[in-house]
Structure 1
Amino acid sequence: MEMFYWLVFGGLAAVVGTLELSKSNQDRVNTSSAFNAFKNNYLVVYSLMMAGDWLQGPYVYYLYTTYGFGKGDIGQLFIAGFGSSMLFGTIVGSLADKHGRKRASITYCITYILSCITKHSPQYKVLMVGRILGGIATSLLFSAFESWLVAEHNKRGFDQQWLSLTFSKAIFLGNGLVAILAGLFGNVLVDSLNLGPVAPFDAASIFLAIGMTIILSTWTENYGDPSENKDLLTQFKGAATAIASDEKIAVLGAIQSLFEGSMYTFVFLWTPALSPNDEEIPHGFIFATFMLSSMLGSSLASRLMARPNLKVEGYMQLVFTISSAALCIPVITSFLVPASKTKGGGISFSGCIQLLGFCAFEACVGVFWPSIMKMRSQYIPEEARSTIMNFFRIPLNIFVCVVLYNVDAFPISFMFGMCSAFLFVASILQRRLMVLAETQKPKPQEWAIHKETEMEAAPLTD
């Protein structure tokens, strides 16, 4: 493996290690033993769920190419995943609120395992079914687990500040350490043991099954609104009303859609961007490097969120600006660095520069996840949390589907430029959210959806 990859990986590892070892008491939060047991249980489950997801990430595009599909066909398969997440996302979110977040988490495990099984078939229709199942699972992953955590945390009466600790730890482990190990493990399975690109999907199924067993045996059920038996349409309308009536929720949803839309587009684009002439690149190792960058970002986020006087709405403006600049690098290199026409070989000079920029973007992703979780816990009403969170995913999935549908019509540099522009817009909207947060105190308890007594109830303090 080229020395360049090891230098980048080693440098990032040194920075992350330094950040973690240099934490002061100001960066730490004193908690109770009961909370620690609850937090550790959730972290184990979340890490297993993310292991099942991250093992697949580096090899989805590569697996499809080994089956003989081109960029256009692969784009259609990705569209199926994002499209199903868009179509079924709000429905499964409402079902999670109504029938229980624990059941929704178990459904995620079963659905994703079935999706992994389909990867054994080279048939396009079977792979399409797998992508649809994967899209449904993704909607559950990014709504049901967080909704269960917030509701259970509040039900047990834990300090609200401790929720930020769980968020940052979950991202540091699940989106950082576990992702790194998953990338390296996948690299061993595919490259070292020569088990083929489908092996990581089999390993993912095993981790998902283990996590499901823990959920079944240790988690209790909680619901979005147990006092009323609302149908899906009522929940959908209630979520839409909450978004339309509170600018903070609408702005937060737009920010999330812009950032995640760019992030998921990046997931598709990084492989062809680093190997435009079929250069031989270590997919698993590069993915592990990206996740180490994300781990660095989550470590930084935990420091920032531990300071009560530092508002998440403030520092996220800088994060979005940096992420915009990072994804603009492929645009810059397309003009300044001559394109190589040699097929195969190692990564090009342009690819090295882009890889460094992608690492900077992934560091921003690491800061984004716990920070957006914190803001959602502040602004989104508990009664329809899963429904509203999946509402946010509708525009981002439309955006990604449009991009992937036209993936052959525009050069990759144009796609990255568009993502960069959207991230810059997100930074502007983040500024707007900070202004709203300073002028209007967040009171999620007041947002009872479609309750006749809402106007009569006295406002509750934070």
Structure 2
Amino acid sequence: MLFGTIVGSLADKQGRKRACITYCITYILSCITKHSPEYKVLMVGRILGGIATSLLFSAFESWLVAEHNKRGFDQLWLSVTFSKAIFLGNGLVAILSGLFGNLLVDTLSLGPVAPFDAAACFLTIGMAIIMSSWSENYGDPSENKDLFTQFRGAAVAIASDEKIALLGAIQSLFEGSMYTFVFLWTPALSPNGEEIPHGFIFATFMLGSMMGSSVASRLMARTSLRVESYMQIVFVISAASLLLPIITNFLVAPSGVKGGGISFSGSIQLIGFCTFEACVGIFWPSIMKMRSQYIPEEARSTIMNFFRIPLNIFVCVVLYNVDAFPITVMFGMCSIFLFVASLLQRRLTVISEIQKSRSQDWSMIKERDTESEPLND
């Protein structure tokens, strides 16, 4: 929240390509710190990792959108690119990376730090590709703005445009629930220490996310269907899927037997969790598409990192108090947040439709005035 937000926001001023290279460098250094047993060194690694994560979730998307528009490509292609990025990157490559990491640690017995060394190698390759083939683009290079001015401009843009504010709130609510879910699914499926196949379950989650991104690509390819419309349904479904741990807790008698395989209630919850991951797969390319439409180009990275401030605060507060509340309460809170996100999405849809209607009416008036000018002459 502290370091990543500041460094990530520099991308608009210093250049998105440069920010992506910085991501590679900071994450390589973060991976190197894993070789040290010293807490201070490891903490430096977490700071570097925080900076890299903020750059990962803002600089690359900002560079892509700017480059896409600069080259005059069809806007529909952007939706396809986002969908493929989630399908291949967040899904298929995540599964292959997990298997490769397992190969390095268990099969080849290279130790638990080996996956970080492998990651550093891939980051080096990625950095070489960026440096050799990408062109640079900026947010607003014409004005000499310091960091405080950038943040103030981003805050003004969010406060003055309700669509941007709604988009930021929706993103924070969904991602906050998603990151909380990451810490909750393991104790939810094994409350009595059941021996569950964590790797297989994670791969199943990634498969669900891939299916969701595939569905999103088909939905966004339909010009008659707006992203804002179907995302309301996605948020409601995701809210319902995280209610399953609460429902099974009331309807299915808890087992007091320690160990064993996954329980019946755990199997039901697993179905709900896979459904939620499918919603996550739809969410990512869809929110990217909406950000490309509503966030102004000159402050794209700054505003995107601004959105991550309440998200990081929320996750920190939840994790700090995770032992203070039953797991069902935590899932209930996430479900409420997702339902609120659906309401905000509904509001965003209404506002965008009203503005689109006004824009069409204004275009018709201008066209009519243009046609009447020769007659007036």
TM-score with structure 2 length normalisation? 0.90
Distance 1:193 1:112 in 2: 24
Look up the match of 1:170: 85
Give the letter aligned to residue 252 of structure 1: L
Mapped contact 2:3–2:47 kept (Cα < 8 A): no
Distance 1:352 1:194 in 2: 33
Q: What per-residue deviation string (whole Å, max 9, x for no partner) do you get for residues 275-302 of structure 1?
A: 3333333333222211110000000000
Distance 2:265 2:128 in 1: 46
Look up the match of 1:411: 326
Distance 1:198 1:275 in 2: 27
- 1:197 positional shift: 4.0
- 1:181 positional shift: 1.7
Look up the match of 1:381: 296
* Counterparts of residues 87-106 of structure 1 (less than 5 Å): 87-106=2-21
- 1:122 positional shift: 4.6
* Counterparts of residues 140-151 of structure 1 (less than 5 Å): 140-151=55-66
Distance 2:27 2:280 in 1: 23
Look up the match of 1:253: 168
Mapped contact 2:295–2:303 kept (Cα < 8 A): yes
Distance 1:385 1:255 in 2: 17
Distance 1:115 1:103 in 2: 18
Distance 2:109 2:267 in 1: 26
SS at match of 1:252: helix
Distance 2:251 2:232 in 1: 28
Structure 1 runs not aligned, ≥5 long: 1-85, 444-462
Larger Rg: 2
Mapped contact 1:379–1:442 kept (Cα < 8 A): no
Give the letter aligned to residue 301 of structure 1: A
SS at match of 1:273: helix
- 1:440 positional shift: 1.1
Give the letter aligned to residue 197 of structure 2: P
Distance 2:269 2:109 in 1: 28
Equivalent of 2:114 in 196, 199, 203 = 199
Equivalent of 1:209 in 103, 117, 124 = 124
- 1:354 positional shift: 1.8
Q: Cα distance 1:253–1:107, how it changes in 2: closer, same or farther (>3 A)?
A: same
2:67 matches 1:152:
yes
- 1:222 positional shift: 0.8
Q: What per-residue deviation string (whole Å, max 9, x for no partner) do you get for residues 148-174 of structure 1?
A: 001111111212222112111111111
2:260 matches 1:349:
no
Mapped contact 1:116–1:204 kept (Cα < 8 A): yes
Look up the match of 1:23: none
Look up the match of 2:182: 267
Q: What per-residue deviation string (whole Å, max 9, x for no partner) do you get for residues 262-285 of structure 1?
A: 111112222232233333333332
Distance 1:126 1:340 in 2: 43
- 1:206 positional shift: 2.1
The more displaced of 119-128 and 252-261 is 119-128
Look up the match of 2:367: none
Mapped contact 1:290–1:358 kept (Cα < 8 A): yes
Distance 1:334 1:218 in 2: 54
The more displaced of 383-392 and 217-226 is 217-226
Mapped contact 2:16–2:62 kept (Cα < 8 A): yes
Q: What per-residue deviation string (whole Å, max 9, x for no partner) do you get for residues 86-142 of structure 1?
A: 223431232111001111111111222222233344544443333322222111111
Mapped contact 1:189–1:199 kept (Cα < 8 A): yes
2:95 matches 1:180:
yes
The more displaced of 146-155 and 131-140 is 131-140
- 1:339 positional shift: 3.0
Q: What per-residue deviation string (whole Å, max 9, x for no partner) do you get for residues 405-461 of structure 1?
A: 101111222111111110010001000000011011399xxxxxxxxxxxxxxxxxx
Give the letter aligned to residue 2 of structure 2: L
Distance 2:138 2:291 in 1: 17
TM-score with structure 1 length normalisation? 0.74
* Counterparts of residues 14-413 of structure 1 (less than 5 Å): 86-413=1-328
Q: Cα distance 1:367–1:198, how it changes in 2: closer, same or farther (>3 A)?
A: same
Mapped contact 2:80–2:217 kept (Cα < 8 A): yes
RMSD (Å), alpha carbons = 1.9
Mapped contact 1:89–1:393 kept (Cα < 8 A): no
Q: Cα distance 1:277–1:129, how it changes in 2: closer, same or farther (>3 A)?
A: farther
Q: How many residues in Structure 1 have an aligned counterpart in Structure 2?
A: 358
Distance 2:128 2:67 in 1: 19
SS at match of 1:359: helix
Distance 1:290 1:201 in 2: 22
Structure 2 runs not aligned, ≥5 long: 359-377
Distance 1:151 1:189 in 2: 38
Q: Cα distance 1:100–1:226, how it changes in 2: closer, same or farther (>3 A)?
A: same
Distance 1:354 1:186 in 2: 27
Distance 2:344 2:32 in 1: 41
The more displaced of 312-321 and 152-161 is 152-161
Q: Cα distance 1:339–1:113, how it changes in 2: closer, same or farther (>3 A)?
A: farther
Identity rate of aligned residues, in percent? 85
Mapped contact 1:262–1:423 kept (Cα < 8 A): yes
Q: Cα distance 1:345–1:209, how it changes in 2: closer, same or farther (>3 A)?
A: farther
Distance 1:396 1:204 in 2: 26
